[in-house]
Amino acid sequence: MTSRYLITKDVTVLGGISLYLKYRDEYVKFQFPPTVTNDSRRLNWNTNNIPGFDPLAIYESNSAREMSLKIEYIVESQSLNNDAGIWSIGKIKHNINLIKGYFSALTDEGGFIGGTLVAYFKHTFVTGPEPWSVRIGNVNVTYEGPYIGTGYLSYPLKTIVNIDIATVSNHEDNESYWDGIKRAPVFSDLWY
């Protein structure tokens, strides 16, 4: 269920955004549309100095596409249940633990991307209609506002989760060989 604070446009945008964590076979649920705060890609050049000329640069490779997402949650209920239709403390905690749990799964899997460590990110303005296979690089959780509840059952009113993700792709047609890693995305005019 979406938040009661969303406007119609937000609900439409939210429908085109998803982050699927394969290690738990579960989607991260968003209360509000996540914001893409950074979107970058880097080229790597081998430069050689030649006396009397500008350095000669030869393309070597490029980096993965890296994005930073800002996800916000606001407590609407003090309930500790995750299954509540509203954004309860339990539902918010579940989604944050789901994201943080990726790092535990990484340790358990031995650190190789593929299999259960692949995540899939879709944002219609960025990826188009198909999700991209990604890896999570960093998660930073901050809390704002007064605490809701009493004693050990209290939780901050607002939680902000910043996630850094990077594309992981193969350049083969056989997706199963790469264990869930999708073919390199074809960038569109949507947002490149």
At residue 96, the pLDDT reads 93
> 44: which 2 tokens?
């790597």
pLDDT at 110: 59
Whether residue 14 lies inside any domain: the answer is: yes
Phi, psi of 11 (to 5 degrees): -65, -40
Query: What tokens were used for 100?
Result: 């943080």
1 confidence band (pLDDT: 50, 70, 90)? very low
Is residue 3 included in any domain, yes or no? no
Pick from 123-127, 139-143, 163-167: least confident: 123-127
- Look at the chain and report how many structural domains it folds into: 1
Query: Residue 151 carries which side chain, given as an amino acid letter?
Result: G
- 130 in any annotated domain: yes
**Rounded distance between C-alpha atoms, residue 135 and residue 166, angstroms:** 5
> Is the model's pLDDT at 112 over the cut of 80?
no
Calculate the alpha carbon distances from 92 to 19, 26, 28, 103 in Å: 15, 14, 10, 18
Amino acid 127: pLDDT: 79
Residue 97 has pLDDT above 70, yes or no: yes
121 closest CA partner among 52, 1, 28, 10: 28
Q: Tell whether 189 is covered by a domain.
A: no
Span 66-93, average pLDDT? 87
Per the domain annotation, does 124 fall within a domain? yes
Residue 186 maps to a domain: no
- Are 82 and 184 in contact, with CB atoms under 8 Å apart? no
Segment 144-162 shows an average pLDDT of 87
Inter-residue long-range contacts of 82-90, CB under 8 Å, 24+ positions, other chains counted: 85/1, 86/1, 86/4, 87/3, 87/31, 89/148, 89/149, 89/153, 89/155
How much is the pLDDT for 157? 92
The reported pTM is: 0.78
Tokens of 115: 């299999």
User: At residue 12, does pLDDT exceed 80?
Assistant: no
State which residues form the domain around 79.
Answer: 8-178
If you average pLDDT over residues 111-120, what whole number do you get?
70
Mean pLDDT of the chain, nearest integer: 79
Q: What is the CATH number of the domain that holds 90?
A: 2.40.30.200
